[in-house]
């Protein structure tokens, strides 16, 4: 039996199995098996042509944003609107076939925006250029999931499932589980909080499924079996995702209002250039970028130039950024502060 068949067998069994206390272990085990086969399926194949030309775009600028969406939702139109790069837009599907980078210049930051081919159901299994697109998505700091506001939300759910199935977790934080494989000593299992969704026996079963017999596991929050599997698999990425509903020029005001109120969503019209300023503002916020200004002792801060950094930066990050970009332009004795908070970072 091929891996795809095995996966579909397990999926069928999971959907057949009623979810209750008695089936908890059985389901946990099935999920672990499923995750294992899925990662086997996605292991880079050695076959030529799999990598795909036109996708090896170098990371540049302060952050990378990937445009993910079904064909013809307006991804290329957005790239051509927000950046100086032109990406062909047309009414037929799969107009874009490669990764096309553009640069958004915002708040003094250079944000790399990547236009990508449309993806459809089955992308993770390699339909269209799905695999290459997903590989690029994994390298992004933010996913812009573009959706056609005139269509129902099925597209959104399909894409979420595609990304989920390849280990991309959207708008979720990494489960707080300490996990370490050991050479011996069996499995040591502990938790700092009461666990309501998993117990020691299920943890053991899942670890055994991965042929792990010596490991240290410490739950620091009330996680599920799926979250434990994510931690074991280690290849998961946790990315912020902003849902961009395009073509609002085609729907009623009431509908625009309803969509705009859903979490993590921005409504726009690329063709009519509606709400694009707000999109940029939100994008900046989701990337957690801040501008840090430099200041010499006894002198006012220099607002003409700044460093672009992530929120939560430490002095080390700042030194690193300076070192990379403009060490020589600064004195060794400098002071930093954030314009917004007026707080010194050190």
Ligand X SMILES: Nc1nc2c(ncn2[C@@H]2O[C@H](COP(=O)(O)OP(=O)(O)OP(=O)(O)O)[C@@H](O)[C@H]2O)c(=O)[nH]1
> Which residues would be at the binding site for Mg ion (CB under 5 A)?
75-76, 95-96
Name which of Mg ion, ligand X, K ion, none residue 77 binds, using a CB cut-off of 5 to 8 Å depending on partner kind. ligand X
Compute how many residues bind ligand X; rule: CB under 6 A: 24
d(CA 130, CA 298): 55
User: Cβ closer to ligand X: 77 or 294?
Assistant: 77
Selection from 210, 203, 81 nearest residue 146 by Cα: 81
Is residue 246 within the footprint of K ion (CB under 5 A)?
A: no
The contact mask relative to ligand X for 190-229 (x = CB under 6 A, - = no) is ----------------------------------------
Q: Is 247 in the site for ligand X (CB under 6 A)?
A: yes
Nearest residue (CB) to Mg ion, 134 versus 177: 134
Chain residues 44-73 in contact with ligand X, contact rule CB under 6 A = 69, 71-73
Output phi, psi for 243, to 5 deg: -90, 120
Min dist CB 197 to ligand X, Å, is 39
Residue 132 contacts which entry, ligand X, Mg ion, K ion, none (Cβ below 5-8 A, type-dependent): none
Give the nearest distance from C-beta 82 to ligand X in angstroms: 12
Q: How far apart are CA 54 and CA 25, in angstroms?
A: 45
Rounded to whole angstroms, how far apart are CA atoms 15 and 23? 12
| Contacting residue, 39, 95, 98, 282, with K ion by CB under 5 A | 95
Contact call for residue 80 and K ion (CB under 5 A): no
Q: Which of residues 34-73 bind K ion (CB under 5 A)?
A: 72
Residues within window 89-118 making contact with ligand X, judged by CB under 6 A:
89-91, 93-96, 117-118
Report the largest interatomic distance among the alpha carbons of the chain, rounded to a whole angstrom.
73
Closer to Mg ion by CB, 96 or 165: give it. Answer: 96
Contact segment (CB under 6 A) with ligand X among 87-95, 123-131, 236-244, 335-343 equals 87-95
Q: For the CB of residue 100, give the shortest distance to Mg ion in the complex, in Å.
A: 8
Shortest distance (Å) from residue 69 CB to Mg ion: 9
Residue 85 contact partner, candidates K ion, ligand X, Mg ion, none, CB within 5 to 8 A by sort of partner: none
Query: Which residue in the shown chain puts its C-beta closest to K ion?
Result: 95
Residue 247 site contact among K ion, ligand X, Mg ion, none (CB < 5 to 8 Å, cut-off depends on kind): ligand X
Closest distance of CB 249 from ligand X, Å: 5
List the beta bridge partners of residue 302: 294
For ligand X, the binding residues in 269-308 under the rule CB under 6 A are: 269-271
Three-class DSSP labels, the chain: CCHHHHHHHHHHHHHHCCCCHHHHHHHHHHHHHHHHHHHHHHCCCCCCCCCCCCCCCCCCCCEEEEEEECCCCCHHHHHHHHCCCCCCCCCCCCCCCCCEEEEEEECCEEEEEEECCCCCCCHHHCCCCHHHHHHHHHCCCEEEEEEECCCCCHHHHHHHHHHHHCCEEECCCCCCEEEEECCCCCEEEEECCCCCCCCHHHHHHHHHHCCCCCEEEEECCCCCHHHHHHHHHCCCEEECEEEEEECHHHCCHHHHHHHHCCCCEEECECCCCECHHHHHHHHHHHCCEEEEEEECCCCCCEEEEEEEEECCCCHHHHHHHHHHHCHHHCCCCCEEEECCCCCECC
Q: How many residues bind K ion (CB under 5 A)?
A: 2
Chain contacts with ligand X (rule: CB under 6 A): 69, 71-77, 89-91, 93-96, 117-118, 246-247, 249-250, 269-271
Chain contacts with K ion (rule: CB under 5 A): 72, 95
């Amino acid at each position: 039996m091929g891996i795809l068949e095995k996966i579909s067998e397990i999926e069928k069994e999971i959907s057949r199995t009623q979810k209750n206390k008695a089936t908890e272990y059985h389901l946990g085990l099935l999920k672990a098996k499923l995750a294992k086969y899925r990662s086997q399926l996605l292991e880079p194949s050695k076959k030529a042509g799999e990598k795909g030309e036109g996708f090896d775009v170098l990371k540049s600028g302060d952050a990378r944003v990937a445009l993910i969406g079904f064909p013809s939702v307006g991804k290329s139109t957005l790239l051509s609107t927000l950046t100086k790069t032109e990406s062909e837009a047309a009414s037929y599907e799969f107009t874009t076939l490669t990764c096309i980078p553009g640069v958004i210049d915002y708040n003094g930051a250079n944000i790399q925006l990547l236009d990508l081919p449309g993806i459809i159901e089955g992308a993770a299994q390699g339909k269209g250029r799905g695999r290459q697109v997903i590989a690029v998505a994994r390298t992004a700091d933010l996913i812009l999931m573009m959706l056609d506001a005139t269509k129902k939300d099925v597209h959104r759910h399909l894409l979420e499932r595609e990304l989920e199935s390849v280990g991309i977790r959207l708008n979720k934080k990494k489960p707080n589980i300490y996990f370490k494989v050991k050479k011996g000593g069996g499995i040591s299992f502990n938790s700092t909080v009461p666990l309501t969704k998993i117990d020691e026996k299920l943890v053991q079963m899942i670890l055994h499924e991965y042929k792990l017999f010596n490991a240290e596991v410490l739950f620091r929050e009330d996680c599920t079996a799926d979250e434990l599997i994510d931690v074991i698999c280690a290849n998961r990425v946790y990315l912020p995702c902003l849902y961009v509903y395009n073509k609002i020029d085609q729907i009623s005001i009431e509908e625009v209002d309803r969509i705009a109120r859903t979490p993590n969503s921005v409504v726009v019209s690329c063709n009519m250039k509606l709400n694009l300023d707000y999109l940029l503002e939100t994008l900046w916020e989701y990337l957690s970028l801040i501008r840090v200004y430099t200041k010499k002792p006894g002198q006012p801060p220099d607002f003409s130039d700044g460093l672009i950094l992530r929120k939560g930066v430490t002095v080390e990050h700042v030194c690193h950024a300076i070192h990379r970009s403009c060490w020589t332009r600064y004195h060794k004795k400098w002071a930093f502060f954030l314009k917004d908070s007026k707080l010194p970072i050190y």
